[in-house]
Structure 1
Amino acid sequence: MIRHADISDNELRSKIRNHEIHFGGNRKLKIYGGLSCASGKRMKRENRVFFTSEQEALQNNYRPCGHCMNKAYKKWKEGMMNV
């Protein structure tokens, strides 16, 4: 997990271009989603984190975004209701 506040804009762009970063998340809400998600683009820089994989986000106890990852979110929600 990489905090947006800890990385320069040039380094971030480079990691995205090189496919080293695939998902972004909100550190306070513990939600992750795609880099093109409109909800994710509105969050504050100090709350934004980046993940190399979906597994990394899940291992850090983040849940899928209900907007850009609707199917994964529904699957996650069903799993939470069965607990």
Structure 2
Amino acid sequence: MKRHTEISQTLLRSKIKSGEINFGGNLKLKIYGLLSCSSGKRMKMENRVFFKSEEEALENNYRPCGHCMKEKYKQWKNNLYP
């Protein structure tokens, strides 16, 4: 997990292009989702974190976003998702 405030914009773009960062999350709400999610794009920079994989987000006790990951969110809500 990498915090947005601890990484430069140039390095962030590089890590996204290389596949080192694939998901974004909200530090306070413990929600993760796609980098293209409109909800994620609106969050404050100091609350934003990045993950390489869904497994990494789940290991850090984050739940799927209800906007950009609807099916996985429904599974999580019904206790069918790890």
TM-score with structure 1 setting the length: 0.95
Name the structure 2 match of 1:28.
28
The offset of 1:57, in angstroms, is 0.2
Name the structure 1 match of 2:14.
14
Query: Unaligned stretches of 5+ in structure 1?
Result: none
Compute the RMSD of aligned alpha carbons.
0.9
The offset of 1:54, in angstroms, is 0.1
The offset of 1:20, in angstroms, is 0.7
Whole-angstrom distance in 2 between the partners of 1:22 and 1:69: 13
What secondary structure does 1:79 align onto?
coil
Listed as ranges, the matches of 1:36-47 within 5 Å are: 36-47=36-47
Whole-angstrom distance in 1 between the partners of 2:57 and 2:72: 13
Q: Once superposed, which parts of structure 1, at least 4 consecutive aligned residues long, lie more than 3 Å away?
A: none
Whole-angstrom distance in 1 between the partners of 2:9 and 2:45: 11
Whole-angstrom distance in 2 between the partners of 1:19 and 1:67: 22
How many aligned residue pairs are there?
Answer: 80
Name the structure 2 match of 1:4.
4
TM-score with structure 2 setting the length: 0.96
Deviations for 1:5-43, whole angstroms, at most 9, x for unmatched residues? 000000000000101100000000000000000000000
Whole-angstrom distance in 2 between the partners of 1:47 and 1:68: 18
Whole-angstrom distance in 1 between the partners of 2:20 and 2:46: 20
**AA aligned opposite 1:25:** G
**AA aligned opposite 2:29:** L
Whole-angstrom distance in 2 between the partners of 1:72 and 1:59: 16
